[in-house]
Structure 1
Amino acid sequence: MRISYNKLWKMLIDKNMNKRDLAERSGVSSASIAKLSKGANITTDVLLKICESLDCTLEDIMETVKD
């Protein structure tokens, strides 16, 4: 099982935002955004910052998927 952030990328499209906008708005580094893009492990602190900046919950930006 792995974590997918496809929900986050879809949300950014719906909000007419790109990854740079997300980094600036949330205060998350571009390196962390790159990790998200690759599906790499990321801290919950980063995820919570993103959720706060987008006014959403963790379930809105990520999901578990079977390999």
Structure 2
Amino acid sequence: MRKISYKKLWVKIAENEMSRAEFRKKVEISPNTLTKLNQNENVSLEIIIKICEFLNCDIGDVCEIAESKEG
């Protein structure tokens, strides 16, 4: 089974020397959305686009499809 991974997003945030809380506030996403991102859960494409606009990057720069560790 395939699943989304936001590992690239956390790398980009670290490269920008920003905490996750600071990132959440600047992008204006809810704490629940940040939790979903932390847990590699699906979020709306609208949120992904908002993140990409803030970071001035493409979708593939913040997320990718990864194999799930669940059977």
Query: Same fold per TM (> 0.5)?
Result: yes
Kept in 2: contact 1:48–1:58 (CA 8 A): yes
Structure showing the higher helix proportion among its residues: 1
Pairwise CA distance, 1:10: 0.6
Aligned to 2:64: 63
Larger radius of gyration: 2
Give the RMSD, CA atoms, in angstroms.
0.9
Counterpart-to-counterpart distance in 2, 1:30 and 1:2: 21
Q: Does 1:22 align with 2:23?
A: yes
The separation in 2 between residues aligned to 1:65 and 1:46, in whole angstroms, is 19
Runs ≥4 residues deviating over 2 A: none
Aligned residue-pair number: 67
Segments of structure 1 that go 5 or more residues without pairing to the other structure are none
Say which SS state the counterpart of residue 35 (structure 1) adopts: helix
TM-score normalised to structure 2 length: 0.87
Deviation of 1:30 after TM superposition, in Å, equals 1.4
The sequence identity of aligned pairs, in percent, is: 28
CA displacement at 1:66 relative to structure 2: 1.9
